[in-house]
Amino acid sequence: MTHTSTRFPEGFLWGASTAAYQIEGNNLNSDWWRREHDPAANIQEPSLDACDSYHRWEQDMDLLAELGFTDYRFSIEWARIEPVPGVFSRAELAHYRRMVEGAHARGLRPMVTLHHFTVPQWFEDLGGWTADGAVDMFVRYVAACAPVIAEGVRHVCTINEPNMIAVMAGAARAGDRSFPAAGLPTPDEETTHAVIAAHHAAVKTVKAINPGIRTGWTVANQVYQALPGAEDVTADYRHPREDVFIEAARGDDWIGVQSYTRTRLGTDGPLPAPADAERTLTQWEYYPTAVGHALRHTAALVGDVPLIVTENGIATADDARRVDYYTGALAAVAAAIEDGLDVRGYLAWSALDNYEWGSYKPTFGLIAVDRETFERTAKPSAVWLGKLGRTRELPRTTT
């Protein structure tokens, strides 16, 4: 048995990610707030105060910096900034600007996501992404974010997981928001075209604000694996759900790779996880090497566009198992780098145990949050992962 280590490159982004709606609390003007309080939507539980990070973001950043992380990805809430069409809140823009400055004050590099799933209720009422003028409305919002991102923000993500936005739109259009036992619903094609157009327009707008900002978006990679004889089926299934969004990033400064598990496909389509597979709290198959497959597949499609792992993690109540998952995932990332892939960073999902779109039960967080007092407690996995951020060295054992 040989003990070695892999050193991640100088300047490597080492951090954790969050989404505004999932941690801030009381985003009253967002579409999700209305949905989670609609009895017909059958949402398990509402977000309510969430982690109260709107008021406690300094505590969150303090902890991440103390733990050793160098980067923090957070999103800004469109519905706060533009609560009614064409009217922008100076107070909210100033709030998010303070977060950017607060990150720098703590030695954290901020990555700002402009859209992480939620939209203003008025935007949804107009028809959402497929409404007339939707792209222009999104660009208007992006331009209004100039006070937040113009200085001190090196990386901006325009839209988080656009493929999941299209998938959810497809499910809604079919009259069913539930997902099949394996695989994903068919994405709505009109929404796909709209979000791709919105992304490209947003990139131009961000570059007009500051041409030095590195822009990209993030894609949810399902790690589709073809069983023998199902290669063509897998390619056809994967393209509208994933590849078309990866291909849209070919001209970007970077692309975010987000993965958690795998999806196997046979000749008849997606297959459930093996009966004996370990499952996480989201009922996904425990599969730490997924991120390595995701990086390699993405690189094969985008060519020389730099890659950043912008989300990767596990929902579990067993923190030792979380460390095991991250150990396997990071080994896969390191192997990809050693094989020549241009991977610029790794940001875990999630910094906090937060609201996972209907429930607080799937705990992805490196930091536990008391639901009554909002007290933050770093888990051993956070200490372990943060220490790696200080050294940039991943211990590895080979036989």
Give the tens place of pLDDT for each residue, 83-126: 999 999 999 999 999 999 999 999 999 999 999 999 999 999 99
- In order, the DSSP letters of 277-323 are --B-TTS-B--TTHHHHHHHHHHHHHTT--EEEEE-----S-HHHHH
Average pLDDT for residues 318-346, to the nearest whole number?
98
Q: How is residue 52 annotated by DSSP?
A: -
133 CB contacts (<8 Å, ≥6 apart)? none
- What is the reported pLDDT for 123? 98
Q: How confident is the model at residue 178 (pLDDT cuts 50, 70, 90)?
A: low
* Residue 225 phi, psi (nearest 5): -120, 120
Q: Mind listing the pLDDT tens digit for each residue in 198-216?
A: 999 999 999 999 999 999 9
> For residues 263 and 273, is the Cβ–Cβ distance under 8 A?
no
What are the E-state strand segments in the chain? Answer: 2-7, 13-17, 71-75, 109-113, 155-160, 214-220, 224-226, 255-258, 263-266, 269-271, 307-311, 343-349, 367-369, 376-378, 393-398
Q: 232 pLDDT exceeds 80?
A: yes
Please tell me the total count of domains within the chain. Answer: 1
Q: How confident is the model at residue 174 (pLDDT cuts 50, 70, 90)?
A: confident
What domain range includes position 190?
A: 2-398
Each as own residue / partner, the long-range contacts of residues 189-193 (CB below 8 Å, 24 or more positions apart, any chain) are 189/240, 190/130, 191/128, 191/129, 191/130, 191/165, 191/166, 192/162, 192/163, 192/166, 192/240, 192/244, 192/245
N-terminal to C-terminal alpha carbon distance within the chain: 4
The domain that contains 197 carries what CATH number?
3.20.20.80
Q: 68 pLDDT exceeds 60?
A: yes
